[in-house]
Amino acid sequence: MEKSFISYYRKSFSAPQSTFGRLAEDPAKLRMSFMAVLITAILYTFVYIFLIFGGGQPFKPWLDIPLESYYRYNVFFCAPSMFLGWVLSAAVVHLFARTEKTPGSFESLLASFGFGISLASWTTGLHDFITSFLGAMQVISQRDYELALNTATIWRTLLWIQMLAYLFAFVYLFSVGIKAVYECSWGKSVLLGCLGFLLYQGFFLIFNR
């Protein structure tokens, strides 16, 4: 990986607003944001591969695919749906942000959303990668663990904590990116950040369970 990409990625954790502001001025912003989303796409592709070997089953999917074989298809849905959700959320938010005269470009927002998606996804990604790997290696029973996540256990409590962190991280990073790119108020930035999250996550959930 390029040194500049690693620097942007690392600094986005500690100072996202100033980092996204500098990223917007970088000619290589789209290439680096693509790399950021690619990290998450690869991570979750491996998660679904491990779930296949671990015998996992998804929550009831929206697509008409049998539960027993869903992950064998899901592994091919993951990366495309992530990239398409990224572009969709940035495009719609850009349209709403430009209802008033503001600075900033679609490419700059797309770049900040790419880094936002990658960083926010670590709130659940590390857990999903480790547990699915342990299931694939037969260290834990994937089916029993999935059952524990859906019943009144400490594991379900921890899952909800992760999901709340996931929600907060996405809305926060999207809002910071909007603020950095369009220089609009915090109120408008948060509203558009929520919209961006709903669009990205809603699209992603159609294909990934």
Phi, psi dihedral angles at 184 (to 5 degrees): -95, 180
Residue type, 7: S
Provide CB contacts within 8 A for 18, sequence distance 6+: 11, 180
pLDDT of the residue at 67 = 80
Give the ranges where the chain is alpha helix by DSSP (H): 3-14, 16-24, 29-54, 70-97, 106-136, 142-149, 154-182, 186-207
Q: What parts of the chain have a pLDDT lower than 50?
A: none
Phi, psi dihedral angles at 183 (to 5 degrees): 55, 35
Cut 0.75: pTM above it? yes
pLDDT of the residue at 2 = 60
